[in-house]
Amino acid sequence: MTDYTDAVQQLQRPKMLIHAARMGLTDYRRERDLRRLGHISLPPELALPHLLQAEERAEDKRRRGDLGYSSLQHIDLLIAVLAEMRLLPRTAAN
């Protein structure tokens, strides 16, 4: 399996986004939140690559100052990435 820990640790995001995502972890509900993000039926090891790609697109929009950028959606994606990392089997996460 892919080592997602390194990919997540290498994310260079504003501290405010990361702080907001960490605070949102307590309210994360997989079925509800993944449905909203379009990945409801995927197990964590399959949802995570899609979430990381979507987060990267959001980060690109943020950096470009794209008018379509949504900080709320970006935070939702970061919350999902962090939460799904916690759901991975230890061998997949490390």
> Which whole number is the average pLDDT over 25-47?
87
Give me the pLDDT at residue 1, please. 44
Mean pLDDT score of the chain, rounded to an integer? 86
Q: For the CA atoms of 10, 66, 39, 14, what is the dihedral angle to 10 degrees? A: 30
Q: pLDDT, tens digit, for every residue of 3-18?
A: 676 677 677 898 999 9
**What single-letter DSSP state applies at residue 66?**
-
The domain locations on the chain are 4-89
d(CA 89, CA 17): 26
Looking at the predicted structure, is the pLDDT value of residue 2 above 70?
A: no
pLDDT interval class at 41 (50, 70, 90): confident
